[in-house]
Amino acid sequence: MEKEANIWNKNFIAESKVKSVKNITGEICLCVNEYNQKDILPQINIQSKYKNDQKSSDTCKGCNPLQKFHEFLTLSFYKLGTIIALYPSYFIIFPIFICLLGMTGFQRMVLEEDSETLYYPDNGIAIHERERIEHYFHLNSSAHFLPYYVTRIHGFARVLIEPKDKGSIFRKFLWKEILEIDQAVKNISITYDGRDYDYKDMCAVWNKNCSENAVLDLYDEVDAIENKTMKINYPLMIFPFVIPMFFGGITLDQNRLYIKSATAINLAYFLRVDTPEQIERASIWEQEFISTIGNMTFEHLHVSYSAARSIQDATNETPQAVKPFIPIVVLIMILFSVGNTMMFDWVRSKVYLGLIGLSSAALATGASFGYLMYFGIANSGINNIIPFLMIGIGLDDMFVVLAAWRRTPVQDSVVKRLGNTYADAGISVLITSLTNMVSFLIGTTAPIYSIRLFSLYTDSKEVCYSFWCSGGINPSDPWNPIDNQQNSVMIFFRDYFGRMLTKKYVKYYER
């Protein structure tokens, strides 16, 4: 052993700058400033290096603390690799079982959809200012509703109407369609908690009546306005409504005292939102409103519409838009991973490891989601992009481990090869995994709730599954005669049938 170490020492000094080389109780200790990891690992007899685990603390005497820690991690990963090679089934069955168990947490999923909760900063100035306004100008939508007191995005719908020909809105045939829209909105009804509600049951109340679009009272005067026999004062008007609130695209006369024409009209519908039940009913009514107006067709009008929940719906639809691309992305990732695991040598080619890496990352992501949901942590639509991120990270680690596996000599046993693989790649994967975890852990301190949720769900993904699931598969190595004994059928043809063919009694000679 001493002679072998001296020969290896001379060859190694020629390739790298060696700080100290010691031979202690048959163990080779290396303390180097620069070395090529790719060239060193195949040459080091790691099996003899780690055969005395009880003396691992003495394997690098004279090294600095960081080098000792590196030596300790290398030894630990070597042990992990050998254990996985010896007991592969445990490292396949148990991680999959833990993942599947965690996925059952999806039955307790709580989806947070409120855009204000998700995207408003904690303790923001706007939140405090709104509290002050609500303290002095309290909104009572069930008795004394005023639209100027509205400070929260709840319980309202809006319709913006303009002529398709871009002309004036003051034309009788246009107002007939406008009134049809108004009537359609007021006819909307919903069912909540076993009871039917229509607009009159839910509308915001002022002076014991529903808050109305008073501008529609001009219907009987539209002909007079169109014929210029009636003028609408600007900006003050005797009628009980404020002109700029209802009309858009206003053109004034020369003296800027009267409205000459307008190209748009705005109708608003407000609902009662004083209690959580009223807010929930209003949200259902808003959804029905969007469906009703969206299904209507108009001959002369171009109609735009929105509701309080429109922002929330748009926010939730944005992450949902990636779902059609999931099959395409998965197919691309499968082709990419399988293509990169293929080799010209079909015996050594590990094509299935590409699929194993994808499955491992997907299982780990699903498990992390499920366990967090068991703890009652809400989910949000933006978390739909996390699987793509996790698959990318998982495949990156898979390729690092696979490259280390391919650098090991094929003549070695699987136990030795997998130990060397983990000793080579373990520290690299550990550093990248810790970097990702710390980065997302910092993200959990963000003042925005959606970012905290995203960082927490991402950080919870256990990267060790990528190691164990793929590591347990590697022992199936057909090149290795030590760990893969010959089949009984092969032995029969080699030792019996082949030998029998050499006997004279099985041969036929033609004379």
Q: What is the mean pLDDT of the chain?
A: 78
Instruction: Count CB neighbours of 150 within 10 A.
Output: 19
204 lies in the same domain as 275 = yes
- 248 compared with 473, residue with greater pLDDT: 248
Domain count, the chain: 3
Distance separating alpha carbons of residues 236 and 245, to the nearest angstrom: 12
Report which DSSP code applies to 214: G
Size of the chain in residues: 511
DSSP track, 120-185: SBTT-HHHHHHHHHHHHS--BTTTB--GGG--SS-SEEEEEEEETT---S--HHHHHHHHHHHHHH
Q: Quickly tell me which residue has 């040598």 as its tokens.
A: 345
328 lies in the same domain as 477 = yes
248 lies in the same domain as 327 = no
Domain assignment present for 116: no
- The domain of 13 spans 2-63
Domain assignment present for 53: yes
Residue where one domain finishes, among candidates 259, 274, 307: 307
Q: What is the mean pLDDT of residues 245-273?
A: 88
- 346 compared with 339, residue with greater pLDDT: 339
230 lies in the same domain as 276 = yes
Residue 243 — very low, low, confident or very high, per pLDDT cuts 50/70/90?
low
Task: Pick the range with the lowest mean pLDDT from 156-165, 311-320, 411-420.
Answer: 311-320
326 lies in the same domain as 285 = no
Residue where one domain finishes, among candidates 307, 336, 351: 307
424 lies in the same domain as 331 = yes
Q: Quickly tell me which residue has 């094509």 as its tokens.
A: 351
301 lies in the same domain as 327 = no
Residue 484 makes CB contacts below 8 A (sequence gap 6+) with 476, 477, 478
pLDDT for 346: 67
473 lies in the same domain as 325 = yes
372 lies in the same domain as 438 = yes
Distances (CA, A) of 17 to 10, 61, 85, 455, 466: 11, 18, 34, 43, 35
158 lies in the same domain as 264 = yes
In tens, the pLDDT along 89-133 reads 888 888 888 888 988 999 999 888 888 888 888 888 888 888 899
Residue where one domain finishes, among candidates 307, 341, 375: 307
CATH of the domain at 90: 1.20.1640
Task: Pick the range with the lowest mean pLDDT from 232-246, 254-268, 354-368, 486-500.
Answer: 232-246
326 lies in the same domain as 245 = no
The pLDDT of residue 510 is above 70:
no
Residue 471 — very low, low, confident or very high, per pLDDT cuts 50/70/90?
low
239 lies in the same domain as 277 = yes
